[in-house]
């Protein structure tokens, strides 16, 4: 059965019971106020320490990580930086349907504001910490296309003093190969295999510390207050919003739909407008891309990752790794399930979905309205029918989540 979300104008044939309460702009119901209050940025708790990363909140590590983040030399060809895809003036993403580094990837770039709150990283959650996530693109042939021995040598040569002030002495690298990685090309893998276990461990530790420094910088990237936040503060306080926070009648209708009949808040909840979980919403596959099982294929990857919470390069003890230890590993619900993205700033960063399959917000709403069958697995969507007014109202509200 489909639900109906129709703003203040109801299509012919729908019952009068479907009229949204308060569409003319009168006070929100107590339940609506409660839900709106939960979405305010002021409700975001302080960022918890990361037990896997002892330098997560070290200002020197964050400054070092910022240098690495913007340095294109931290790539195989010296042409790709983290900032190549994570553009500062575009919410630390790139507006492309598929990220482009050295080559083109299978997924789109995610924005970075407050990403450190998420227990799982990437669209499929195949990394369980922000620093472990930072390592993945560095060795991906389509992104930075480098290898960990070369990165360790680069850091020692270009940033050695800064590295050692934060992490202590760098290992001796004079007798190591120029390049090497267990994930690289045949030559890099062969070089890695010839290294001693102690040499590989030393390089892995430097590589992990590169990720930990980048993560320390990324933890400083936060969402900005929006007009919605100022409006929500007024709603909760029971006062009239200031002029710079006022909502139009259409925006109020959209907010009521969001927390009510449209059901958006079921997944896009909390101050970051995400539940940090994975859902199959029937998003179509992209022609020409490999089969993508989403979360279902990622759980094995995170368990096998030597840089996970339980790994030798984590600064945490096993007691801090409950997310990983009790992770749901095998569930049909995880087939083609992808992480719920934050909706803060989403109105100005099309296209949408994990591989940019949907071009506009209007088409996103149509997708949720039609609730198509999933290419694989089972879609969670039940379908929400929107009138033209309801669709416009919801989009108007989403635009209030853009920073000004």
Range list of H helices, 168-278: 186-194, 197-218, 227-237, 249-259
Q: Where in the chain do CATH 1.10.760.10 domains reside? A: 3-44+225-294+335-399, 59-218
Report how far residue 283's alpha carbon sits from residue 337's, in angstroms, rounded to the nearest whole number: 9
- Report whether pLDDT(23) > 60: no
Q: What is the mean pLDDT of residues 126-154?
A: 98
Mean pLDDT of the chain: 93
Q: What is the mean pLDDT of residues 357-371?
A: 96
Assigned token pair, 309: 């919470």
Report how far residue 185's alpha carbon sits from residue 204's, in angstroms, rounded to the nearest whole number: 17
Residue 19: band (very low, low, confident or very high) from pLDDT cuts 50, 70, 90: very low
Q: What is the mean pLDDT of residues 66-86?
A: 98
Residue 21: band (very low, low, confident or very high) from pLDDT cuts 50, 70, 90: very low
| Tens digits of residue pLDDT in 24-44 | 345 799 999 999 999 999 999
Report how far residue 338's alpha carbon sits from residue 367's, in angstroms, rounded to the nearest whole number: 16
- Report whether pLDDT(328) > 60: yes
What is residue 82's three-state secondary structure? helix
Quick one: pLDDT at residue 5? 53
> Residue 3 forms beta bridges with which residues?
384
Task: Identify the CATH number of the domain defined by range 3-44+225-294+335-399.
Answer: 1.10.760.10
| Tens digits of residue pLDDT in 112-125 | 999 999 999 999 99
Q: What percent of the chain stands above pLDDT 70?
A: 94
Q: What is the mean pLDDT of residues 259-263?
A: 96
Q: What is the mean pLDDT of residues 159-166?
A: 98
Parallel, antiparallel or unpaired: strands 384-386 and 278-279: unpaired
| Tens digits of residue pLDDT in 7-18 | 443 332 222 223
Residue 356: band (very low, low, confident or very high) from pLDDT cuts 50, 70, 90: very high
- Report whether pLDDT(254) > 60: yes
Q: How many helices (H) and strands (E) does the chain have?
A: 13, 4
Report how far residue 295's alpha carbon sits from residue 273's, in angstroms, rounded to the nearest whole number: 20
Quick one: pLDDT at residue 384? 85
- Report whether pLDDT(20) > 80: no
CATH architecture of 59-218: Orthogonal Bundle (1.10)
Quick one: pLDDT at residue 87? 98
Contacts of 309 (CB under 8 A, 6+ apart): 52, 128, 129, 316, 320, 321, 323, 324
Quick one: pLDDT at residue 27? 79
Quick one: pLDDT at residue 13? 27
């Amino acid at each position: 059965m489909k639900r109906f979300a129709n703003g203040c104008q109801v299509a012919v044939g729908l019952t009068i019971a479907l009229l949204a309460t308060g569409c003319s702009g009168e006070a929100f119901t107590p339940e609506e106020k409660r839900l709106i209050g939960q979405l305010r940025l002021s409700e975001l708790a302080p960022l918890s320490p990361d037990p896997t990363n002892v330098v997560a909140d070290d200002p020197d590590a964050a400054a070092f990580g910022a240098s690495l983040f913007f340095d294109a030399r931290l790539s195989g060809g010296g042409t790709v930086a983290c900032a190549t895809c994570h553009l500062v003036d575009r919410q630390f993403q790139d507006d492309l349907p598929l990220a482009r580094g050295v080559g083109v990837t299978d997924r789109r770039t995610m924005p970075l504001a407050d990403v450190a709150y998420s227990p799982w990283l990437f669209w499929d959650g195949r990394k369980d910490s922000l620093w472990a996530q930072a390592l993945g693109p560095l060795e991906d042939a389509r992104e930075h296309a480098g290898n960990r021995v070369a990165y360790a040598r680069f850091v020692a040569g270009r940033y050695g003093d800064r590295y050692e002030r934060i992490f202590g002495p760098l290992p001796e690298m004079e007798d190591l190969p120029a390049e090497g990685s267990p994930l690289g090309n045949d030559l890099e893998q062969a070089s890695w295999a010839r290294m001693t276990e102690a040499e590989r461990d030393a390089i892995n530790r430097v590589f992990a510390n590169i990720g930990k420094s980048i993560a320390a910088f990324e933890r400083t990237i936060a969402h900005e207050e929006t007009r919605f936040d100022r409006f929500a503060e007024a709603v909760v306080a029971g006062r009239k919003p200031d002029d710079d926070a006022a909502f139009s009648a259409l925006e109020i209708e959209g907010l009521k739909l969001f927390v009510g009949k449209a059901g958006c808040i079921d997944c896009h909840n909390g101050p970051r407008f995400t539940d940090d979980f994975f859902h199959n919403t029937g998003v179509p596959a992209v022609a020409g891309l490999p089969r993508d099982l989403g979360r279902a294929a990622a759980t094995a990857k995170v368990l096998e990752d030597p840089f996970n919470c339980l790994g030798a390069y984590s600064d945490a003890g096993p007691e801090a790794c409950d997310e990983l230890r009790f992770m749901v590993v095998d569930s049909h619900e995880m087939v083609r399930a992808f992480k719920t993205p934050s909706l803060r700033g989403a109105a100005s960063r099309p296209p949408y979905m994990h591989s940019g399959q949907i071009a506009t917000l209007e088409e996103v709403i149509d997708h949720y309205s039609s609730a198509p069958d999933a290419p694989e697995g089972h879609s969670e969507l039940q379908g929400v029918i929107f009138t033209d007014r309801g669709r416009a109202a919801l989009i108007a509200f989403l635009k209030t989540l853009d920073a000004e």
